[in-house]
Chain A
Amino acid sequence: MPTWVDDFLWAYSSFIYGLGVNAILGLSMYAVLALGQLSLGQAAFMGIGAYTSAVLTVKFGMPFPLVLCAAMAAPAIAATIIGVPTLRLTGIYLAMATIGFGEVMRILYINTDYIGGALGFSGIPEKAQGSIIFGLLAAILAGFLSATRSKLGRAFEAIREDEDAARAIGIHVTAYKFATLVISAALAGLAGALNAHFSSFIGPNEYGFDTAITILSFAILGGVTSPFGPVLGAFVLSALPEVLRPLHDFRLVFNGLIIVLVVIFLPRGILGFRVRRVG
């Protein structure tokens, strides 16, 4: 490897790893939005994964693959508990329940000294290499693409467009909503664990409402007509602050402006092409 590539990767590794983690978060959002569901709990699920993984690595010395599995299982269980009462209802109940859930978790982290309380949890070993992060991202993207191009993708789209019509052709709507919420929580947890294991520090305020909105905007910006949209959206929104560095304090204004313009002029996102749902 030429030395400049090496230098570049060294200087920007955490930025590049962040792109991969954010793309996984974008896909976790895709899993619910593809069915017309709105979860604002992706940040909270991410936090559960991050804290679970940090504790298991630092306090119990568990091997990294097992840590990642546990970091997916813990938020999946939380999603099960939230999903059972809310998914039978249509409308904004899931969004409301997940917002509340995020706040509950944040306050729980702040008040638990075992995981560092308000000061956060530091000293997490840097075990998440680029190959692991981007390998998992590729596998997850391939999985979603395959699902979208099959009967599963048709069921997602049917539920998104018309729940009653979906029921009338034999789709178990509640089961699909439930399964995708659990999968999306597991993926957010995985992203949280990967993030914790390259930034080496996690804090209770990293998984609040603003993070939930950022994750949502990955998917909105990229578009959810195909799984590529949220990945591209995550790349663009994560890279923007770096690209816009010369604007200094106006960076976030620009960020918001771009999202507003996309929502107005490209309501299907910047990558609005559809995937053929036959396969």
Chain B
Amino acid sequence: MSEPLLRVDAITCRFAGLVAVDDLSFAVASGTVHALIGPNGAGKTTLFNVISGLLKPNDGSIRYRDRDITLLRPHARVALGIGRTFQNLRVFGEMTVLENVLAGRHARLAASWPATVLRLNAARSEERAAVSRARELLRIVKLEDQAEQLASALAYGDQRRVEIARALATDPMLLLLDEPAAGMNPTETAALAELLRSLRGGGLTILLVEHDMNFVMGLCDHLTVLNFGRKIAEGRPSEIRVNPDVIGAYLGGPHRVQVQRNREGTA
């Protein structure tokens, strides 16, 4: 295997005594769909925040495309090609669907603010290109008919797709999806899996957190299983399915008491 696109190296995150992510290391290979799974509070969302730069780790480093990005700010990571969605819906409700996706284009619009305010040619042609790209993305996620509606007026599953389109508008090489299928019905989930497969086919690398195991097992190439911020297993879906530690973490066993004790802090 060549140098991975993303390498999480010995990351540790603590919140007031609670260790949310504990000395965690794994790598995401280019062009794959990689899933992070684990019970609630296992540290998956915390890790997403560290990779996207919203949270500084207490220890460890993040390497992306062969460079250390641990200290880079979030907007700089987007510029390098790391896009993400959020677990709880974070669309801009007071903007239309089209404006949401255009907002995702922000990092790719180079015109200076005077050129933008004065509507110079460079800014106008760039904006026109952004609008057509945004409409194309809305076609891909099948929301082209809702382009002019306020995002807050859309159904839950549709808002998820707005967020995915907005993240895709940043032109990511690595897309982080935090529970993309949550709140979707089976038809929507199947369509989402199809979309992610075609994105992978186009060369996009996807790291996702998801609780819907049918969705995860049918889609991903590689899994990393977390429990209490630590990696307990790693491998292909067929290997993970029969791993006794994973079965223990999910179905109860030695870990169960600890799960309940830790549930609050990191959810």
Contacts and interface: CB of A to CB of B under 8 A. Distances in A.
Interface of A: 143, 146-147, 150-152, 154-155, 157-158, 161-162, 164-173, 179, 274, 276-279
Contacts of B116: 146-147, 150-152
Contact of A161 (B54, B79, B93, B96): B93
A158 B90 contact: no
B179 interface: no
A169 B123 contact: no
Contact of B95 (A157, A168, A173): A157
B106 interface: yes
A158 B103 contact: yes
Contact of B167 (A152, A169, A171, A274): A169
Interface string B42-56: 000000000011100
A147 B106 contact: no
Interface in B62-116: 73-75, 78-79, 83-84, 86, 90-96, 98-99, 102-109, 111, 113, 116
A169 B166 contact: yes
A151 B94 contact: no
Contact of A278 (B78, B93, B131, B169): B131
Nearest to A169: B104
Contact of B170 (A154, A161, A170, A274): A170
Nearest to B80: A170
A151 B102 contact: yes
Contacts of A278: 98-99, 102, 127, 131
B75 A171 contact: yes
Contacts of B169: 169
B155 interface: no
Contacts of B109: 151
A164 B170 contact: no
Contact of A152 (B94, B99, B113, B166): B113
10 contacts: A154-B95, A154-B99, A164-B90, A165-B91, A167-B53, A168-B86, A169-B83, A170-B104, A170-B106, A172-B73
Contacts of B91: 165
Contacts of B105: 151
Contacts of A155: 103, 106
A170 B93 contact: no
Q: Which 5 A-B pairs have the closest CB atoms?
A: A170-B107, A170-B78, A167-B74, A165-B90, A154-B103
Interface in B157-180: 166-167, 169-170
A167 B103 contact: no
B118 interface: yes
Contacts of B93: 161
Nearest to B79: A170
Contacts of A173: 75
B117 interface: yes
Contacts of B123: 150
A154 B53 contact: no
B94 A161 contact: yes
A161 B92 contact: yes
Contacts of B111: 151
Given A152-B116, A154-B95, A161-B93, A168 B103 contact: no
Contacts of A172: 73, 75
Contacts of B96: 276-277
Contacts of A158: 92, 95, 103, 106
A143 B117 contact: yes
Nearest to A268: B94
Contacts of B113: 147, 152, 179
